[in-house]
Amino acid sequence: MPEEPLRRYAEQRNDHDSGIAALVEPDRPLLQGVTVATDLGPWTVHETPGHAPSHVCLFQPERRLLISGDHLLGRISLFFDYGYSPDPVGEFVNSLGVVERLGARLCLPGHGRTFTDVHAHIQGNRALVAERARRILAAMAPQPATAFEIVPQIYDDVPFSPATAPWLLMETLSFLLHLELTERAIRIPGEPERWRPA
Protein backbone atom coordinates (compact mmCIF):
# COMPACT_ATOMS: atom_id res chain seq x y z
CA MET A 1 0.00 0.00 0.00
CA PRO A 2 1.42 3.42 -0.84
CA GLU A 3 2.60 5.40 2.17
CA GLU A 4 0.40 8.49 1.69
CA PRO A 5 -3.03 6.79 1.94
CA LEU A 6 -1.71 4.60 4.75
CA ARG A 7 -0.77 7.70 6.78
CA ARG A 8 -4.10 9.34 6.00
CA TYR A 9 -6.04 6.23 7.06
CA ALA A 10 -3.99 5.93 10.27
CA GLU A 11 -4.68 9.59 11.17
CA GLN A 12 -8.41 9.22 10.51
CA ARG A 13 -8.66 6.04 12.60
CA ASN A 14 -6.29 7.16 15.36
CA ASP A 15 -9.04 8.41 17.65
CA HIS A 16 -11.20 5.25 17.34
CA ASP A 17 -10.88 2.75 20.16
CA SER A 18 -10.79 -0.98 19.42
CA GLY A 19 -14.29 -1.64 20.73
CA ILE A 20 -12.90 -4.36 23.01
CA ALA A 21 -13.69 -3.63 26.66
CA ALA A 22 -11.72 -6.58 28.07
CA LEU A 23 -10.65 -10.11 27.30
CA VAL A 24 -12.89 -12.78 28.74
CA GLU A 25 -11.24 -15.98 29.92
CA PRO A 26 -13.03 -19.12 28.70
CA ASP A 27 -14.69 -21.52 31.14
CA ARG A 28 -13.56 -24.49 29.03
CA PRO A 29 -11.91 -25.04 25.65
CA LEU A 30 -14.27 -25.40 22.70
CA LEU A 31 -12.39 -27.92 20.59
CA GLN A 32 -13.47 -30.37 17.90
CA GLY A 33 -15.54 -33.15 19.45
CA VAL A 34 -16.33 -31.41 22.74
CA THR A 35 -19.99 -31.66 23.80
CA VAL A 36 -21.67 -28.87 25.73
CA ALA A 37 -24.68 -29.96 27.80
CA THR A 38 -27.61 -27.50 27.90
CA ASP A 39 -31.30 -27.55 28.78
CA LEU A 40 -31.98 -27.78 25.05
CA GLY A 41 -29.82 -30.91 24.78
CA PRO A 42 -26.17 -31.48 23.88
CA TRP A 43 -24.35 -29.22 21.42
CA THR A 44 -21.29 -30.55 19.61
CA VAL A 45 -18.31 -28.35 18.76
CA HIS A 46 -17.02 -28.29 15.17
CA GLU A 47 -13.83 -26.48 14.24
CA THR A 48 -14.46 -24.18 11.27
CA PRO A 49 -11.31 -22.12 10.63
CA GLY A 50 -11.29 -19.58 7.83
CA HIS A 51 -12.92 -16.46 9.19
CA ALA A 52 -10.44 -16.85 12.05
CA PRO A 53 -8.06 -19.72 12.84
CA SER A 54 -9.85 -20.58 16.10
CA HIS A 55 -13.42 -20.32 14.80
CA VAL A 56 -15.92 -22.97 15.89
CA CYS A 57 -19.59 -23.70 15.23
CA LEU A 58 -21.97 -25.43 17.66
CA PHE A 59 -24.50 -27.98 16.43
CA GLN A 60 -27.54 -29.41 18.25
CA PRO A 61 -28.19 -32.67 16.35
CA GLU A 62 -31.69 -33.54 17.65
CA ARG A 63 -33.12 -30.19 16.52
CA ARG A 64 -30.56 -29.73 13.71
CA LEU A 65 -29.69 -26.24 14.98
CA LEU A 66 -26.41 -24.58 14.06
CA ILE A 67 -24.80 -21.67 15.89
CA SER A 68 -22.52 -20.54 13.08
CA GLY A 69 -20.87 -17.50 14.65
CA ASP A 70 -19.16 -15.65 11.79
CA HIS A 71 -18.71 -18.71 9.55
CA LEU A 72 -22.14 -18.36 7.93
CA LEU A 73 -23.86 -15.01 8.25
CA GLY A 74 -27.38 -13.78 7.60
CA ARG A 75 -26.15 -12.63 4.18
CA ILE A 76 -23.49 -14.07 1.90
CA SER A 77 -20.32 -12.29 3.00
CA LEU A 78 -16.63 -13.09 3.41
CA PHE A 79 -14.02 -12.03 5.97
CA PHE A 80 -10.61 -13.54 6.64
CA ASP A 81 -7.98 -12.84 9.30
CA TYR A 82 -4.85 -12.60 7.15
CA GLY A 83 -1.48 -13.60 8.55
CA TYR A 84 -2.55 -16.05 11.26
CA SER A 85 -2.82 -19.30 9.30
CA PRO A 86 -1.36 -20.78 6.11
CA ASP A 87 -4.49 -20.45 3.92
CA PRO A 88 -7.58 -18.73 5.38
CA VAL A 89 -9.55 -18.99 2.11
CA GLY A 90 -8.81 -22.72 1.72
CA GLU A 91 -9.64 -23.30 5.39
CA PHE A 92 -12.95 -21.44 4.97
CA VAL A 93 -13.92 -23.54 1.93
CA ASN A 94 -13.04 -26.75 3.81
CA SER A 95 -15.09 -25.55 6.78
CA LEU A 96 -18.10 -25.08 4.50
CA GLY A 97 -17.89 -28.83 3.89
CA VAL A 98 -17.75 -29.50 7.65
CA VAL A 99 -20.96 -27.52 8.19
CA GLU A 100 -22.65 -28.98 5.12
CA ARG A 101 -22.19 -32.53 6.43
CA LEU A 102 -24.06 -31.61 9.64
CA GLY A 103 -27.36 -31.16 7.77
CA ALA A 104 -28.56 -28.18 9.83
CA ARG A 105 -32.11 -27.01 9.21
CA LEU A 106 -31.85 -23.69 11.12
CA CYS A 107 -28.81 -21.44 11.44
CA LEU A 108 -28.26 -18.88 14.20
CA PRO A 109 -25.50 -16.62 12.80
CA GLY A 110 -23.28 -14.18 14.66
CA HIS A 111 -24.65 -11.33 12.49
CA GLY A 112 -27.94 -10.98 10.69
CA ARG A 113 -31.19 -12.91 10.89
CA THR A 114 -31.59 -16.60 11.48
CA PHE A 115 -32.16 -18.61 8.31
CA THR A 116 -33.34 -22.05 7.24
CA ASP A 117 -31.73 -22.23 3.80
CA VAL A 118 -28.38 -23.37 5.24
CA HIS A 119 -27.40 -25.31 2.13
CA ALA A 120 -28.11 -22.26 -0.07
CA HIS A 121 -25.87 -20.11 2.15
CA ILE A 122 -23.07 -22.68 1.89
CA GLN A 123 -23.41 -22.78 -1.91
CA GLY A 124 -23.60 -18.97 -2.03
CA ASN A 125 -20.35 -18.66 -0.11
CA ARG A 126 -18.64 -21.20 -2.39
CA ALA A 127 -19.83 -19.25 -5.43
CA LEU A 128 -18.60 -15.95 -3.95
CA VAL A 129 -15.15 -17.43 -3.22
CA ALA A 130 -14.93 -18.69 -6.82
CA GLU A 131 -16.09 -15.34 -8.21
CA ARG A 132 -13.62 -13.30 -6.13
CA ALA A 133 -10.76 -15.60 -7.15
CA ARG A 134 -11.73 -15.23 -10.81
CA ARG A 135 -11.94 -11.43 -10.56
CA ILE A 136 -8.58 -11.17 -8.80
CA LEU A 137 -6.90 -13.28 -11.48
CA ALA A 138 -8.50 -11.11 -14.18
CA ALA A 139 -7.40 -7.90 -12.41
CA MET A 140 -3.73 -8.89 -12.50
CA ALA A 141 -3.82 -10.47 -15.97
CA PRO A 142 -2.87 -7.32 -17.94
CA GLN A 143 0.19 -6.73 -15.74
CA PRO A 144 1.48 -7.70 -12.28
CA ALA A 145 -0.32 -5.79 -9.54
CA THR A 146 -0.14 -5.11 -5.82
CA ALA A 147 -3.01 -6.02 -3.51
CA PHE A 148 -3.70 -2.28 -3.14
CA GLU A 149 -4.03 -1.93 -6.94
CA ILE A 150 -6.31 -4.98 -7.17
CA VAL A 151 -8.80 -3.92 -4.46
CA PRO A 152 -10.73 -1.23 -6.42
CA GLN A 153 -11.15 -3.59 -9.37
CA ILE A 154 -12.67 -6.31 -7.20
CA TYR A 155 -14.82 -4.37 -4.74
CA ASP A 156 -16.22 -1.68 -7.02
CA ASP A 157 -19.41 -1.65 -4.93
CA VAL A 158 -17.59 -0.86 -1.64
CA PRO A 159 -15.90 2.54 -1.12
CA PHE A 160 -12.22 2.25 -0.21
CA SER A 161 -12.05 4.22 3.04
CA PRO A 162 -10.29 4.08 6.41
CA ALA A 163 -13.17 1.93 7.67
CA THR A 164 -13.12 -0.58 4.79
CA ALA A 165 -9.43 -0.58 3.77
CA PRO A 166 -8.19 -3.13 6.36
CA TRP A 167 -11.05 -5.55 5.59
CA LEU A 168 -10.66 -5.28 1.78
CA LEU A 169 -6.87 -5.59 1.89
CA MET A 170 -6.97 -8.59 4.27
CA GLU A 171 -9.46 -10.36 2.05
CA THR A 172 -7.47 -9.61 -1.11
CA LEU A 173 -4.19 -10.74 0.48
CA SER A 174 -5.91 -13.92 1.71
CA PHE A 175 -7.09 -14.65 -1.82
CA LEU A 176 -3.67 -13.92 -3.32
CA LEU A 177 -2.10 -16.34 -0.84
CA HIS A 178 -4.73 -18.98 -1.68
CA LEU A 179 -4.18 -18.49 -5.42
CA GLU A 180 -0.43 -18.87 -4.89
CA LEU A 181 -0.86 -22.06 -2.81
CA THR A 182 -3.19 -23.54 -5.44
CA GLU A 183 -0.64 -22.62 -8.14
CA ARG A 184 -2.92 -20.14 -9.91
CA ALA A 185 -0.90 -17.01 -9.05
CA ILE A 186 2.77 -16.14 -8.66
CA ARG A 187 4.16 -13.71 -6.09
CA ILE A 188 6.78 -11.31 -7.44
CA PRO A 189 9.07 -10.31 -4.56
CA GLY A 190 9.98 -6.67 -4.15
CA GLU A 191 8.85 -3.48 -2.50
CA PRO A 192 5.97 -3.46 -3.08
CA GLU A 193 5.15 -7.12 -3.63
CA ARG A 194 3.25 -7.78 -6.85
CA TRP A 195 1.27 -10.72 -8.19
CA ARG A 196 0.55 -12.23 -11.59
CA PRO A 197 -1.48 -15.22 -12.82
CA ALA A 198 0.49 -18.48 -13.02
With a cut of 70, say whether residue 1 has pLDDT above it.
no
Name, in order, each residue with C-beta under 8 angstroms of 124's C-beta and a sequence gap of 6 or more: 76
The per-residue pLDDT of the chain, averaged, comes to 92
Q: 4 falls in which pLDDT band (50, 70, 90)?
A: confident
Ranges of each domain in the chain: 32-197
Give pLDDT tens digits for 17-52.
Answer: 667 788 888 888 899 989 999 999 999 999 999 999
| Strand boundaries in 17-172, DSSP class E | 35-36, 43-47, 56-60, 65-69, 106-109
More confident residue, 9 or 173: 173
Q: What is the pLDDT of residue 16?
A: 65
Local confidence band at 148 (pLDDT 50, 70, 90 cut-offs) = very high
Per-residue pLDDT band at 102 (split at 50, 70, 90): very high
Rounded CA gap, 171 and 180, in Å? 14
Nearest residue to 155 (alpha-carbon basis) of 167, 146, 141: 167
Record: fold of 32-197: Metallo-beta-lactamase; Chain A (3.60.15)
Is residue 1 within 8 Å of 148, Cβ to Cβ? yes
Task: Give the Å distances, CA to CA, from 19 to 14, 15, 23, 109, 174.
Answer: 13, 12, 11, 20, 24
- Residue 120 CA to residue 75 CA, distance in Å, equals 11
What is the amino acid identity at position 11?
E
